[in-house]
Chains A and B, each alone.
Chain A
Amino acid sequence: METAITEKLRYSWLNFQNRRQYADFQRLFGPVPEDELISLDLETSSLDPDTNEILEIAAIPVQGRKVFPGKALVLRVQPEKELNPDSVPVHQIRGKDLENALQPKDALEQLLSFIGRRPLVGYNIRFDQKILSRYCQTYFGFKLPNAIRELSHRYYRKKLHSQPEHITDLRFEKICEDLDIPVLERHTAKGDALTVALAWLKMM
């Protein structure tokens, strides 16, 4: 309860400050649309959230019980450093794939105006939040204000409720397998974001 109030105060303060400074981002600080979420997934150059760089962003809108994969925002982002060839197996993105990628600042601007104040849902979403906040701080001077929803937490709570004796495996693949989520798209940022959205909705 207390944390909620502090959070709220913090957002209000940010809100007040930012509204003056960043007229472009007004949407980010307006009211939170009801019953709407964004399923988000990032592909990054490494697994260290303090230093890695965003290579790809996928954000898919969810409204009520529906997910709209056709309205997804998918952005390729140009890293500042050269890609480390060793990390290619992780994100499956080669330097060549990034030839027409956006500059990080432009990509972030597009993303922020796309997601507005909607809460972000994802698997290990704190990781993505941390990176996005770092980027926001660097380019715009504020942290990512969106609330987050963690897929694995909800899954854990649901399992705890229905089958408390089973200690559940919280790996992404296992969750999807257990929930019987069809793989509708390849293992890309957008594909994963869609799978997350479907898994999230299935637990509603």
Chain B
Amino acid sequence: MNYQARFQQPPFDVLTEEQRLQLIKAASLSWYKPGEKLLKAGSEAQSLMIVQKGVIEERHYKDKQKIYAHYAEDDLFDVRGLVDGKVRHEYICLEESLVQEVPAGLFLRFCEDNKAFREGLQADLSEKYHRLHEDSRPEIADFLLSRIERNHCRPAKTVSGHLSLAESVRILEDEHLDALLVDLAPSESGLGIVTRTDLLRALAIHQKPLSCEVGSIAIAPLISIELGDYLFNALLIMTQRRIERLTVFQGDELVGMMDLTQILSLASNHSHLLAMRIVRANTVDELIDLSPEIDKQARSLFSNGVRTGFVMQLVSTLNDQLLKRLFELHFPTEYQDRICLLSLGSEGRGEQVLKTDQDNALIISDGIPKPDAHILEGFTKLLLACGWPRCKGNVMVSNPHWVQTQSEWQKRIVHWMDNSNPENMMEMAMMADARAVAGNEQLMDEFQDNLNVAIGKRESFLSTFVAPALQFDTRLTFFGRIKEGRDHKMDVKKAGIFPLVHGIRSLSLEQRINARSTMDRLAALKKSGKLEADRASKLEEAFLVLNRLRLEQQIDESCDGNELDLDALDYRRRDMLRHCLHTVKKFHQYLRHHFHIDG
């Protein structure tokens, strides 16, 4: 443990060397005993406190049950109290704590003198208090990442500079162009540009004769951009130079032209472009080529701070389109409105960002023969080619167990409820998240109705169904600290995400809510008054934050799957994680109480 290393980390990382020295010089260490009050509500904060060891609890000054946060190693408080000049809550020592203190005066002087420090803290505060308000304009981030491609460019027509104005206008008109490139050889400028507006001005205002050479009014040199540059840069150049057109080159080769309206339309529709390409694909091979783009887009959107919920939504839309198109191209036409392709599990809920295993099933209309095994196996292989690995649990259309007729599914529902072993509960949970992605959606609606009716008859069954949500430890100690485990890793799915998803799924089944995604289910539960607004928004926050933490590590590849590397989390993320696990723990209690489960 190096107590001074903390001063190199946020928010102190932006201090100047001299400021950091002042900080080190002024910082003191002292012990606090359990029960001791570090900060009193209503008092003036004397110092910024950084926990070196131990746990401090922030709670309401009257209502001792109302706990706002726990602070452990490397956490600091109370920034808000220092900035406002007044501490709002009580800070009590829970475990014997070693606390580093920075005098308030010095801290406030840094805030005044160092803009980055101040802004970092403000961002910190707002992140803490509005965690979910990430970038609210996702399409902009989306756009920032795109590079100029050939299909963004319009063909450019190059004409000789000796052409007359009349002929130039004719070409513009005939070829539906709004600008021409003009070859100015043998002058040194090379190429120039003439737009419709330039021609109008020359003819109407400067009253040039129609026979005048177009080269004389062309504007040179061209302002151009390289193929592969960021779209955003193109926009920047246009804005800076107050022009509306850019020529695009690849080395010396002229690729085409881009204009402002086009870029702006790309700015808002980039993801739609991918969707369009999927819908327009005419062969399975085209789709296979397109599928990695979805993953790429998901990663870049996410890394750019786009809201987790939004990325999930976008990715699931794109994946749905891909699945639907694959379905249309693969299954014989006579089957298409008599079977229904389902996405199950997280894909059914629309909560995937990176592709995970295939989780699909089929419902077949009663009275028609099931599709041949080679067709089904072929579909699974197609999905494999598109980047969905085979499912370890074999939940795939190539497995006859998941390809059933309407009446067979009906029987299956009864079978699950009569034999509530873990395997059946898992199957039922998968199907409770099922969503129709292609084919005849009525088949899915019917299944859903049957499921709802069956549960209506056996309400008590849900207390068995919900049980798996409670089987994993929330990994919090009695004092609300994170249990690190030996390897400093945590299975975030078991500790947090699964209990939330499954608990909310059970509550939705109980209320016959047909929504699929955890967020939609929460919204419906809140709307129907079954879940208090406060609880619902806490659960929503915890769900999104846990997913985000997992994704962050999946994307920078410090974690494949669900094992969160606790050492890689900065103190802010640890704090968030702790909050979320606390919410999960409370949710456990709620579920136990709600479904009358003992223990």
Residues of A within 8 A of B (CB): 63, 65-71, 180, 182-185, 198, 201-202, 204
How many residue pairs link A and B with beta carbons under 8 A? The number is 44
Q: How many Å lie between the Cα of A180 and that of B3 in the bound state?
A: 16
Q: For A202, what are the chain B residues with a Cβ–Cβ distance below 8 Å?
A: 31
B52 at the interface (CB under 8 A from A): yes
Q: Are B29 and A198 closer than 8 Å at their CB atoms?
A: yes
List 7 A-B pairs, minimum CB-CB distance, nearest first.
Answer: A66-B28, A70-B24, A70-B25, A66-B30, A65-B30, A184-B3, A68-B28
B53 at the interface (CB under 8 A from A): yes
Q: How many Å lie between the Cα of A66 and that of B31 in the bound state?
A: 8
The listed residue (B2, B23, B30, B31) touching A184 by CB distance below 8 A is: B2
> What are 5 A-B contacts defined by CB distance under 8 Å?
A63-B28, A67-B30, A68-B27, A70-B25, A70-B26
Min CB distance A51 to B, Å, is 36
Q: For B27, what are the chain A residues with a Cβ–Cβ distance below 8 Å?
A: 68-70
Min CB distance A193 to B, Å, is 13
Min CB distance A185 to B, Å, is 8
The listed residue (A65, A66, A184, A201) touching B1 by CB distance below 8 A is: A184
Q: How many Å lie between the Cα of A31 and that of B364 in the bound state?
A: 96
Q: How many Å lie between the Cα of A101 and that of B186 in the bound state?
A: 77
Q: How many residues of B contact A (CB 8 A)?
A: 18
The listed residue (A69, A71, A201) touching B3 by CB distance below 8 A is: A69
Residues of B within 8 A of A (CB): 1-4, 23-31, 52-53, 96, 98, 101
Q: Are B98 and A198 closer than 8 Å at their CB atoms?
A: yes
Q: Are A67 and B1 closer than 8 Å at their CB atoms?
A: no
Q: For B23, what are the chain A residues with a Cβ–Cβ distance below 8 Å?
A: 70
Q: Are A69 and B1 closer than 8 Å at their CB atoms?
A: no
B7 (CB) vs chain A CBs: closest residue: A70
Q: For A65, what are the chain B residues with a Cβ–Cβ distance below 8 Å?
A: 30-31
Q: How many Å lie between the Cα of A204 and that of B33 in the bound state?
A: 11
Q: How many Å lie between the Cα of A99 and that of B177 in the bound state?
A: 80
The listed residue (B2, B25, B29) touching A67 by CB distance below 8 A is: B29
Q: How many Å lie between the Cα of A110 and that of B239 in the bound state?
A: 64
Contact flag A69-B29 (CB < 8 Å), given A182-B1, A182-B52, A198-B98: yes
Min CB distance B110 to A, Å, is 15
A63 (CB) vs chain B CBs: closest residue: B28
Q: For A201, what are the chain B residues with a Cβ–Cβ distance below 8 Å?
A: 30-31
Q: How many Å lie between the Cα of A180 and that of B52 in the bound state?
A: 13
Q: For A66, what are the chain B residues with a Cβ–Cβ distance below 8 Å?
A: 28-30, 101
Q: Are B30 and A183 closer than 8 Å at their CB atoms?
A: no
Min CB distance B73 to A, Å, is 10
Q: For B3, what are the chain A residues with a Cβ–Cβ distance below 8 Å?
A: 69, 184
